[in-house]
Amino acid sequence: TLKDLWLGVSAGGRTAPENAEAVADFVADKMNRAWIGFGSAPEGSVKRRIHSFGLKLLSRVRPSETLLKSLTKDVSMLEIVHPASINPRLVRRRLRHIAVRGAAIHKKYLYGSICMLPVTSVFMVVLPLPNIPFFWTLFRAYSHWRALQQGSERLHLLVSDCSGEGKTLLEKKNGMSTRKDGDSQYAPWNFQPSQKLDGFLERRGLDEGLDCDTISRICQTYDLDKVDVLKYRDLEWPSSASRTT
C-alpha cells in the first residue's frame, strides 16, 4: 500500500537510488494491476479495446529491451546456449554490443519520455477517458530506465573481462576470491555450444531466413514463444530474417 511505501522510504537506512527504485516498483505494480483489470473487462467494452490497442503497442517493443529489463541487479550468472559452429568470443562480442548500444538508445528515449510526461498530462483535463497517452509515456519511461540502469550496466558487467570494480562486485556477490596471479576463480558466464541447435540451422542458406517449421522446432526445444520469435524476426530485420540466428 501507499502507507507501507511511505514508511519504508521515511524509515531511513536506504540510499536515494534504492528509495527511487522502491517508488518506481510500486508505481509499476499499480500499473500492472490496472492493466490486468483492463484485460479481464467484458468483450467489446472500452477497457477491453484499450487493452487490445495496448497489446499492439507492446508488440513493437524490441526483444533487446525485453532482455535488458529481465537482467536485474541480483543476476550474477549468465547461461548462454549458442550454435556450436559459432565461436563463443563472437557471442560475447554480440552481447557487449547489445549492452553498449542499449545504454545509448535507452538513455535517449528515457529523456524523451520524461520530456513528454508534462505534455501528455494535459490530456487528463481534456479527455473524459483514462489518460492513456500519459500512462503509456510513463510506462515507456520506466521501461527505458529499467533497461538502462539495470539491464545495460549488468549485462556489460557480466560479459566483460571482470576487471576492477566489476570483478570485486561479482566476487563479493558470489563469495569468490582472487588467485595470487590476479585472475578470478569465477566467470560470470557459462557458454553452452549446442550441436542440436546447429542441426536446426544446417539447412539454412547464407541469405535465407528460417522457415516457420524450423522456428517452431527450435521454440519447442528451448521453451520459446513461436509467435514472439516470428514477431521479433519481422520487426528487427524484415529484409534479412537470417540475422535472428
Whether 198 maps to a domain, the answer reads no
Q: Which amino acid is at 36?
A: I
Whether 7 maps to a domain, the answer reads yes
Q: How far is CA 222 from the centre of its chain?
A: 19
Same domain, residue pair 187 and 70? yes
Whether 239 maps to a domain, the answer reads yes
pTM of the model: 0.68
Whether 111 maps to a domain, the answer reads yes
∠ Cα 113 39 131 (to 5°): 35
pLDDT band at 129 (very low <50, low <70, confident <90, very high): low
Answer for the pair 82, 197: CB distance below 8 angstroms, yes or no.
Answer: yes
Same domain, residue pair 96 and 120? yes
Whether 74 maps to a domain, the answer reads yes
Whether 97 maps to a domain, the answer reads yes
CA distances in angstroms from 192 to 86, 98, 195, listed in the order given: 11, 19, 10
Helix axes 16-39, 132-146, angle to 10 degrees: 130
Same domain, residue pair 178 and 72? yes
Domain count, the chain: 3
pLDDT tens, position by position, 47-63: 788 888 887 887 778 88
pLDDT tens, position by position, 74-98: 788 888 888 888 898 899 999 999 8
Same domain, residue pair 43 and 14? yes
Residue 32 sits in which domain range? Answer: 1-58
Same domain, residue pair 49 and 169? no
Q: Identify the residue whose cell numbers are 529499467.
A: 146
Give me the pLDDT at residue 245, please: 35
Name beta bridge partners: 83. 194
Same domain, residue pair 70 and 100? yes
Q: How high does pLDDT run on average in the chain?
A: 76
Report the distance separating Cα 21 and Cα 151, nearest Å.
Answer: 14
Instruction: Read off the C-alpha cell for 175.
Output: 563469495
pLDDT tens, position by position, 181-221: 344 455 788 888 988 888 887 766 545 667 788 888 888 88
